Amino acid sequence: MKTYTHTFECKDMISPVFSEWDFYPYNKYSHSNMCFFDIETTGLSAAASSIYLIGAGHYEEDRFVVIQWFADDYESEKDILNAFLTHIAAYKVLLQYNGNTFDLPYVKSKCRTYRIPCDILGTLVHIDLYSSLRRYSGLLNLPNKKLISFEQYVGLNRDDKYNGGELIQVYSEYMQNKYLKKDNDDLLHMLLLHNYEDITGLSQVASLMFLKELDKLNLDVISCGVSSDTMTIIYKCDMPAAYSFSLDIPCISDDNGDCMAYINCRWGNKCIELVVPIINYTFNYYFADYKDYYYMINEGTIMHKSVAIYTDSSVRRKAKKAECFVTNTGKYIPIKKHGCYSADMHIFRKDYTSKEYFIEYDESFTDDSEWLIRYYRQLF
């Protein structure tokens, strides 16, 4: 086993060291009590593969330190596990990405194989950032839920160009070169780079944990103003004054899938400004009780069974879900599917398969503080 240590200045990173992160877990645990970790393996099954690298990152005053335990031979796996378990005993919180599904079960399985006590894992608070943040990938308009997508959102760009699966072959080549006494520096750099960029990226993506707090803020409506094409709502909230953030939420796309309008939300100075587009458009309203309708073949329209029963059966058939709608042209605002609408509000879409939902704009919304607060909460 070989051990490598890398030190990064927190002033060059997104970190809680020089700014107040007043959200979980940073508002409950000191960042000095947190450890970020990631493992690299030669396969997905612990029974048929091995760990060749474990990395762990932690804060030391104004630095972020990554320690890596690397198997430079085929006998080091047990040593790597022991070194990692000894290291994390100094912390209270263990953070990982998809670790609840892969990393932790893999480590526990290996500990059973080597009969290594791993009770320490049961005493730590475990936070899986994948589980915590995946629901926000759509809100942030990310292409997928991979760690690298969240990294790019917060402004990080990797030097590493490989994924974990591709590095299995790199590690195999490294071990062959070692026994053939060939130069291995480039391959070693590739293996270590991927792992420590996972860990440094993980520590900075953790800044997005504040998203889990956005729908829990205590809100009061300060004002609501309307122009010809927007509704602007100002809320007073209990977010720390030092915190600021802006987010554009796509709400309607054209036929090519390109976004035509956004809901813009800005948090800062203990206030939230929400700018909602008012969209002039022709949408469809789809009936939930489509089984109560017939489709009139010649006219291409629908008719309720209570009326259609008097027509000839050859000119009608049972209506399908996608056919059972009426169109309406008017002013609309975007909502989530299960948003803040009452039972008598019709939900409109461009077509039956669309995942973009709208309700008709009503001037009474601007005077209904309770409705305006619900509107904010349903977005998140």
| Contact between 339 and 367 (Cβ < 8 Å) | no
| pTM (2 d.p.) | 0.76
Q: Is the pLDDT of residue 241 over 60?
A: no
The 10s digit of each residue's pLDDT in 97-143 is 999 999 999 999 999 999 999 999 999 999 999 999 998 898 888 99
Q: Please write the tens of the pLDDT for every residue from 201-218.
A: 999 999 999 888 887 889
**Residue-level pLDDT at 18:** 81
Residue 22 has what pLDDT?
80
Q: Is the pLDDT of residue 342 over 70?
A: no
Confidence label for 240 from pLDDT (cuts 50, 70 and 90): low
Residue 214: exposed, middle, or buried by beta-carbon count in 10 A (0-12, 13-18, 19+)? buried
pLDDT tens across 328-337, in order? Answer: 999 999 998 7
Helices (H), the chain: 77-88, 103-114, 120-123, 129-133, 147-153, 164-179, 185-205, 305-308, 369-379
Q: Reply yes or no on whether the pLDDT at 296 is more than 70.
A: yes
Residue 270 is predicted with a pLDDT of 86
Identify the CATH number of the domain defined by range 2-212: 3.30.420.10
CB neighbour list of residue 323: distance below 8 Å, 6 or more residues apart? 290, 295, 302
Mean pLDDT, residues 155-164: 88
Listed residue (331, 321, 378) closest to 351, CA to CA: 321
State the DSSP code for 6.
Answer: E
Considering only residues 280 and 339, tell me which one the structure prediction assigns the higher pLDDT.
Answer: 280
pLDDT of 141 reads 82
> Per-residue pLDDT averaged across 82-95, rounded?
97
- pLDDT range class, residue 341, cuts 50, 70, 90: confident
What is the reported pLDDT for 179?
A: 80
Count the residues in the chain.
380
Q: Please say if the pLDDT value at position 14 is more than 70.
A: yes
List CB contacts of 56: < 8 A, sequence separation 6 or more: 35, 36, 37, 66, 67, 68, 84, 87, 88, 199
Q: 35-84, pLDDT tens digit by residue?
A: 999 999 999 899 999 999 999 999 999 999 999 999 999 899 999 999 99
Q: Please provide residue 218's backbone torsions phi and psi, each rounded to the nearest 5 degrees.
A: -75, 125
End-to-end CA distance of the chain: 46
Share of the chain above pLDDT 70, in %: 98
17 C-beta neighbours (distance < 10 Å), count: 17
Domain with CATH 3.30.420.10 in the chain: 2-212
pLDDT of residue 339: 64
Residue-level pLDDT at 336 = 84
Q: Tell me what the mean pLDDT of segment 276-299 comes to.
A: 95
Burial class (CB in 10 A: 0-12, 13-18, 19+), 258: exposed
Q: pLDDT band at residue 255, thresholds of 50, 70 and 90? A: confident
pLDDT at 242 over 90: no
Q: What angle do CA 81, 102, 45 make, to 5 degrees?
A: 80
- 172-209 tens-digit pLDDT: 999 998 888 878 899 999 999 999 999 999 999 999 99
Q: How far apart are CA 35 and CA 89, in angstroms?
A: 10
Say which residue, 99 or 242, is predicted with more confidence: 99
Q: What is the pLDDT at residue 338?
A: 64
Q: Collect contacts of 134-140 with beta carbons under 8 A, ≥24 apart.
A: 136/208, 136/211, 139/211, 139/247, 139/249, 139/379, 139/380, 140/247
C-alpha to C-alpha distance for 53 and 198, rounded to whole angstroms: 12
